[in-house]
Amino acid sequence: MAYTISYATPAVAFSVTKETAREAFEMAMDYINQGYATVKLEDHDKGVTYGPHEIRKAWESGEELG
């Protein structure tokens, strides 16, 4: 399983791949809490990409993505 978290600043784009969903979810929330508006989390197994709204909503409700 692989999960990719990506975000962009006006100058550069970043991406990080994590092996566990929980680790990727927590990292994505860290970036959102730091103020990055373009955060995306991609679940490679499911072929789904989540945006900041879906990530924050799942985090606040205590649910996992998917």
What are the pLDDT digits (tens) for 16-54? 999 998 999 999 999 999 998 899 999 999 999 999 999
pTM equals 0.85
41 close to 56: Cβ distance less than 8 angstroms: no
51 close to 5: Cβ distance less than 8 angstroms: no
Please tell me the predicted confidence (pLDDT) of residue 63. 81
61 close to 25: Cβ distance less than 8 angstroms: no
> pLDDT of 49-59, one tens digit each?
999 999 999 88
